[in-house]
Chains A and B, each alone.
Chain A
Amino acid sequence: AQSVSQHNHHVILSEAASLELGCNYSYGGTVNLFWYVQYPGQHLQLLLKYFSGDPLVKGIKGFEAEFIKSKFSFNLRKPSVQWSDTAEYFCAMFSGGYNKLIFGAGTRLAVHP
């Protein structure tokens, strides 16, 4: 069965620290991969996506993610977090055979000033 795993449920960082959130997916075929972010009181917003090509993708607000096919991973990174990055982050995959997004459980990030 297809699934997405996010290993860190809660992450606490100080401003300027580096961030890496893990995401692993389970599916043997071609997938599209996404990171969505939900800021407090706001709706899910697209952070970045991978369809094909360069496995290192850049998103909004300085975020990037690397698709490593051999590891079935799509980890999210940011070199220096800000207080405004406090949010919940969801990794998701989409495969054409299933026509739906499958989400991980989310990682709640708290950045302290």
Chain B
Amino acid sequence: DTGVSQNPRHKITKRGQNVTFRCDPISEHNRLYWYRQTLGQGPEFLTYFQNEAQLEKSRLLSDRFSAERPKGSFSTLEIQRTEQGDSAMYLCASSLALTSLQETQYFGPGTRLLVL
């Protein structure tokens, strides 16, 4: 059973650089979510895809953030011109949404980003 995988697991970058994270969901899961988690807080929703369509974006997702899921399988999250406030754990989750409400999201190990 392959769960959700994320790469890289850790990323250290300098302020102003661009970074890209990848998420591979559980096979055949149609929904893919990105969350951000900072120290002492629960994960906060960033965006989600149903298949390849990005259906919702949080107000947390500034113009410097972009996410794609080009073929409805893996997804990438890019942060341009990183700022120190972007330092966080970025979590990916996937689910098989068969009805509008009953779905369970399974999380990957996350990518921990540190912006110096």
User: What residues of chain A have their CB less than 8 Å away from a CB belonging to chain B?
Assistant: 4, 30, 32, 34, 36, 42-46, 49, 51, 90, 92, 94-96, 99-106
Q: Residues of A contacting B101 with CB < 8 Å? A: 30, 32, 51, 94-96
Chain A residue with the shortest CB-CB distance to B43: A103
> Which listed residue (A43, A45, A94) contacts B103, Cβ 8 A?
A94
User: What residues of chain B have their CB less than 8 Å away from a CB belonging to chain A?
Assistant: 33, 35, 40-45, 48, 55-56, 58, 91, 93, 100-110
The SS class assigned to the B binding surface is loop
Say whether, besides A44-B91, A103-B42, A106-B42, A96 and B100 are in contact (CB < 8 Å). yes
What separation, in Å, do the CA atoms of A46 and B26 have in the docked complex? 15
Say whether, besides A32-B102, A95-B101, A101 and B45 are in contact (CB < 8 Å). yes
Chain A residue with the shortest CB-CB distance to B105: A101
B43 touches A44 (CB 8 A): yes
What separation, in Å, do the CA atoms of A106 and B44 have in the docked complex? 12
> Which listed residue (B40, B48, B100) contacts A100, Cβ 8 A?
B48
A4-B42, A96-B100, A101-B33 given; name 11 further pairs at CB < 8 Å. A32-B103, A43-B91, A45-B107, A46-B106, A51-B101, A99-B48, A99-B55, A100-B56, A101-B105, A103-B44, A105-B41
A101 touches B43 (CB 8 A): yes
What separation, in Å, do the CA atoms of A105 and B48 have in the docked complex? 21
- Distance in angstroms from B39 CB to nearest chain A CB is 10
